[in-house]
Amino acid sequence: MHTLRLSRKSLISLAVAAALAAPLASASPTAIGRYKDWSVFTDTANGETICYAATQATDKAPRAADHGDVWFYVTNWKSGRARNQPSMKVGYELREDLAPKASVGRSSWALFGVGREAFADDSDDSRIVSALRKGSELRVEAVSKRNTQVAYHFSLSGSAAAIDKASAICR
């Protein structure tokens, strides 16, 4: 099956549309299961099923900053619009001109910020997801619109099982 990959421009459009549609969504996320430090959820947006594996940050720096909820996701759309798409959501606006950086072990990738979310370039998605499945910790560094440098740590314990489950649900 051919998977449609979204360009940066498409992701920005989707992120904006999702932010506008979120209050109108007919269903709230449904928890499917927990896999160590990761959970799997399904949700519906504009009548389309979305399945995702997610984990919350285990450490947030600086401690004095108001980070809000900080989650890292690997998302699949039942329609095939996106498959195993990594992203991060934070509780504040990101600086869009300073690329957040994600790293697992010695590998790192530049992300791009759109409002309160950060996405990888499509060409990096499979490498990031592979590293998430095999690694022990994900670290993300970013800068808020208020110029606060932030850093997050996410446990990868259970990530492989959760990513597999979310992908299987949305096939």
Which residue segment(s) compose the domain that 118 sits in?
8-22+30-169
Pairing mode, strands 137-143 and 149-155: antiparallel
pLDDT in the model for residue 3 = 34
**pTM, entire model:** 0.84
pLDDT per residue, tens digit, the chain (171 aa), is: 333 344 554 444 444 334 433 433 445 899 999 999 999 999 998 899 999 999 999 999 999 999 999 999 999 999 999 999 999 999 999 999 999 999 999 999 999 999 999 999 999 999 999 999 999 999 999 999 999 999 999 999 999 999 999 999 999
Q: Say if 2 falls within a structural domain.
A: no
Rg from Cα positions in the chain? 15
Q: Say if 3 falls within a structural domain.
A: no
CATH number of domain containing 100: 2.60.40.1880
Dihedral of alpha carbons 112, 44, 39, 171, sign: negative
How far is 131 from 81, CA to CA, in rounded Å?
22
Q: Say if 1 falls within a structural domain.
A: no
Q: Say if 132 falls within a structural domain.
A: yes
Q: What domain count does the chain have? A: 1
